[in-house]
Homo-oligomer: A and B are copies of this chain.
Amino acid sequence: MLNFGLTEMRLVAPRDGWPNPDAGPAASGADIVLEKAQVFDTLAKAVADISHVYATTVRKRGVTKPVVTPAEASAEIFAAASAAPPVRSAILFGAERSGLEMDEVATARSIITVPINPEFGSLNLAQAVILCAYEWSKHQSLASPPKVDLDPPAPQSELDGLIDHLFGQLEARRYFFPPERMAATKQTLRNLLTKPGWNSLEIRTLRGVLSSFDKRHRIPD
């Protein structure tokens, strides 16, 4: 939950009571979620202030509710939260082994089902939670994609410097043969060297590589 910016967890009649000493280590440092957790003895009390409850379940027998994907639910939840006045939503998860009972699903206005391999579906509780939290986070500013600190490609003049350097070396080594194919070969090389979009540092590194070919190195004994 906290990985994706969610901190409001509500527990309904937890089997092992609350606080649960096993929860801390499992939370891997997300203690704030545990500290803020609210405990209710019934589902009705837990969702009393929620306008749109989503139930996560794969069982659809006899259910007459819209079934949405985590992505669709997240878009709805975000739109509802952005409305004036804002509409609060909650995602309801069942117990690890049994999932949600039908009377719990009846509390919900919509059902969330993760699209899954039709020949093998075995999502556990933690997996269902992380997928819903992940999709929810896509609508939050805090989950903006990590900014790429990728240096931009070097100016063309630097690339040309590299290419001219290489061409000079190749000409000195009579690489271009026969002479009438020189233009085509140079074009092939220019295309190939333009493709990577090397940045200035990378171009300088490659110039250094080329320079090393210009020098006479003593081969170690």
Report copies per complex.
2
Number of A residues with CB within 8 Å of any CB on chain B: 47
Q: Is the interface of A mostly helix, strand, loop or mixed?
A: loop
A54 at the interface (CB under 8 A from B): no
| Pairwise interchain contact A121-B3, C-beta atoms closer than 8 A | yes
| Pairwise interchain contact A3-B143, C-beta atoms closer than 8 A | no
CB proximity of A95 to chain B, nearest CB, Å = 17
Distance of A131 Cα from B130 Cα, bound (Å): 8
| Pairwise interchain contact B115-A145, C-beta atoms closer than 8 A | yes
Known: A64-B202, A150-B64. A30 touches B142 (CB 8 A): no
Interface string of A76-88 (1 = CB under 8 A from B): 0000000000000
The residues in A between 189 and 221 inclusive whose CB is less than 8 angstroms from any CB of B are 199, 201-202
Distance of A199 Cα from B65 Cα, bound (Å): 11
CB proximity of A102 to chain B, nearest CB, Å = 15
Tell me the A residues contacting B by CB distance below 8 Å.
Answer: 2-5, 28-30, 58, 60, 63-67, 69, 71-72, 113-124, 127, 130-131, 134, 137-138, 142-146, 148-151, 199, 201-202
